[in-house]
Amino acid sequence: MRDLETNAENTWCPGCGNFGILSAVKNAITHLDEEGISSDSIVISAGIGCHAKIFDYLGLSGLYSLHGRDIATVQGMKIANPDLKVINFSGDGNGMGEGLAHTLFAAKRNQDMTMILHNNSVYALTTGQFTPLTQKGWEGPSTPRGSFEEPFNPLVMMIVSGATFVARSFSGKMQHLTDTIISAVKHKGFSFVEVLQPAVPYHSWSEYRDKIKFIEEEPSNYNEALKTAQDADPYTLGIFYRNTEKPVYHEELYGDHNPVNKRVGVEERRQKIIKILK
């Protein structure tokens, strides 16, 4: 098991919801390692934002990517070496704004990866602009008279786009969040976990705690999942959708081939090209 601690100085605000996500991820990785999913086989990526600093605070391999391009980065990692378990840390601005197309296509392809969306409903690092997930009416630095746009429903968006594991948790519910991350990483296919996370300069913990609730039971099929995700308010937690039947991208692409450990030699490749050209 790797040492998950790093020497990086933690610069999150005291009370930031990202601390809960970091702890839950560490718990989940420790548990997964004990179950046989080695921490050496896990690679991570993050975009840019407060959430993305988690990359510096986790002693795991990976690539600190660009704003909105991290989802593309992890897709590349998986295709390059399907034996890896890849985890992406994204923000609501990062993954639902500038990176939205990459998010939708990763879900559409059922890429075998996990996306953890730190949803604080704000572009926090850049000091409080509204995001695609900000609730209507929220008064912030860029929306002093209240945001008048309807937010996306990320769970519905992911279900209809093709994700095969769709869940919501909260950084203040440590056991629920840890268990959800474990299930998401073990899931074969695109797993999406939205994590509600207070950014304390903009939202208080009680704002969340007063509203948090759980779905009664996990929906058993696509239509039920979609209806539950549509009807639930943005503070309802649980696993909304799980489909283990849908093929995953890298297997559709090249079966059980792995370009790293089943590498074709130069001569074999040359012969294959000659055969195609003949």
Ligand X SMILES: Cc1ncc(C[n+]2csc(CCOP(=O)(O)OP(=O)(O)O)c2C)c(N)n1
What residue ranges bind ligand SF4 (CB under 6 A)? 12-13, 16, 18, 50, 120, 124, 199-201
Listing DSSP states for 16-62 in one string gives -THHHHHHHHHHHHHHHHHTT--GGGEEEEE-SSTGGGGGTTS--EE
Which of ligand X, ligand SF4, Mg ion, none is residue 165 near (CB under 5 to 8 Å by kind)? none
Which of ligand X, ligand SF4, Mg ion, none is residue 191 near (CB under 5 to 8 Å by kind)? none
Residue 32 token pair? 């997964």
DSSP state of 260: T
Identity of the residue, 79 or 200, whose beta carbon is nearer to ligand X in the bound complex: 200
- Going by C-alpha positions, the residue among 144, 179, 203, 272 that lies closest to residue 16 is 203
Least gap, CB of 120 to ligand X (angstroms): 5
Least gap, CB of 8 to ligand SF4 (angstroms): 14
Residue nearest to ligand SF4 according to CB distances in the complex: 199
212 binding ligand X? (CB under 6 A): no
Q: Phi first, then psi: what are they for 100, rounded to 5°?
A: -55, -45
Least gap, CB of 17 to Mg ion (angstroms): 10
Q: Which residues are within 8 A (CB) of 69 and not within 5 positions of it... i.e. 6 or more apart? A: 47, 99, 102
120 binding Mg ion? (CB under 5 A): yes
Q: Are 232 and 219 in contact (CB under 8 A)?
A: no
Identity of the residue, 37 or 200, whose beta carbon is nearer to ligand X in the bound complex: 200
Which of ligand X, ligand SF4, Mg ion, none is residue 201 near (CB under 5 to 8 Å by kind)? ligand SF4
Binding flags for ligand X, 123-162, as an x/- string (CB under 6 A): xxxx----x-------------------------------
Which of Mg ion, ligand X, ligand SF4, none is residue 16 near (CB under 5 to 8 Å by kind)? ligand SF4
Beta strand ranges found along 80-123 (DSSP E): 85-91, 113-119
Q: Which residues are within 8 A (CB) of 40 and not within 5 positions of it... i.e. 6 or more apart? A: 2, 61
86 binding ligand X? (CB under 6 A): no
